[in-house]
Structure 1
Amino acid sequence: MPNERLRAAIRAAGLTIENVAEKLGVDPKTAGRWITADGRIPHRANRRDISKLVGVDEVHLWPSLAESLHTKPNTETELVHLYPSRSAVPFSLWTELIASVEHQMDVLVFSGQFLVEQHNILPVVQQKASQGVKFRFLVGDETSTAVTQRAMEEGTTGGLQGRIQMMRRYLSEIADLSTVEVRTHGTILYNSLYRFDDQLLVNGHAFGALAGQNPVLHLRQLPSGLIWDNYMRSYDRVWEQALPEPT
Structure 2
Amino acid sequence: MPNERLRDALLRNGLTLEQVAKALSVDQKTVERWITKGRTPYPKHRHKIAAMARESETYLWPDSVAPERRAETAAAEVVSVFPHRNAIPVELWDRLINDASQTVEILVHAALFLVERPRFIKDLAAKAAAGAKIRLAFGDPDGNSVALRGEEEQLGDGTLPARVRNALAFYRPLVGVEGVEMRFHNTTLYNSIFRFDDEMIINTHVYGFQGAHAPSLHLRRLSAGDLFETYSESFETVWNLAKPATI
Class of the TM-score when normalised by the shorter of the 2 chains: 0.5 to 0.7
Which residue does the alignment assign to 1:203?
203
User: In 2, distance between residues paired with 1:119 and 1:227?
Assistant: 32
Aligned residues: 173
Contact 1:136 1:180 in 2 (8 A): yes
Which residue does the alignment assign to 1:185?
185
For residues 11-38 of structure 1, the C-alpha deviation after alignment (integer angstroms, 9 at most, x for no partner) is: xxxxxxxxxxxxxxxxxxxxxxxxxxxx
User: In 2, distance between residues paired with 1:175 and 1:192?
Assistant: 22
For residues 44-76 of structure 1, the C-alpha deviation after alignment (integer angstroms, 9 at most, x for no partner) is: xxxxxxxxxxxxxxxxxxxxxxxxxxxxxxx94
In the alignment, is residue 111 of structure 1 matched against residue 110 of structure 2? Answer: yes
Show the 5 A alignment for 1:69-108. Answer: 76=73, 77-108=76-107
For residues 117-162 of structure 1, the C-alpha deviation after alignment (integer angstroms, 9 at most, x for no partner) is: 1363101012111111111000000111111111011111222111
Show the 5 A alignment for 1:138-149. Answer: 138-149=137-148
TM-score normalised by length of structure 2 = 0.67
User: In 1, distance between residues paired with 2:87 and 2:106?
Assistant: 19
User: In 2, distance between residues paired with 1:246 and 1:83?
Assistant: 34
Query: Which secondary structure does the structure 2 equivalent of 1:240 belong to?
Result: helix
Amino acid at match of 1:220: R
Which residue does the alignment assign to 1:134?
133
User: In 1, distance between residues paired with 2:155 and 2:118?
Assistant: 23
Unmatched tracts of structure 1, length 5 or more: 1-74
Unmatched tracts of structure 2, length 5 or more: 1-71
Q: Could you tell me the percent identity over the aligned residues?
A: 34
User: In 1, distance between residues paired with 2:126 and 2:140?
Assistant: 27
User: In 1, distance between residues paired with 2:201 and 2:118?
Assistant: 15
Closer, same or farther in 2 for the Cα pair 1:209/1:246, shift >3 Å? closer
Higher relative contact order (CA 8 A, sep 6+): 2
For residues 195-244 of structure 1, the C-alpha deviation after alignment (integer angstroms, 9 at most, x for no partner) is: 00000100000000010000111001111111111111110010001001
User: In 1, distance between residues paired with 2:192 and 2:246?
Assistant: 23
Which residue does the alignment assign to 2:165?
165
User: In 1, distance between residues paired with 2:164 and 2:132?
Assistant: 24
TM-score normalised by length of structure 1 = 0.67
Contact 1:113 1:163 in 2 (8 A): yes
Closer, same or farther in 2 for the Cα pair 1:183/1:197, shift >3 Å? same
Contact 1:95 1:119 in 2 (8 A): no
Amino acid at match of 1:202: I
In the alignment, is residue 243 of structure 1 matched against residue 243 of structure 2? Answer: yes
Query: Which secondary structure does the structure 1 equivalent of 2:212 belong to?
Result: helix
User: In 2, distance between residues paired with 1:241 and 1:207?
Assistant: 24
Amino acid at match of 2:111: G
User: In 2, distance between residues paired with 1:135 and 1:129?
Assistant: 7
Q: Tell me the C-alpha RMSD between the 2 structures.
A: 1.4
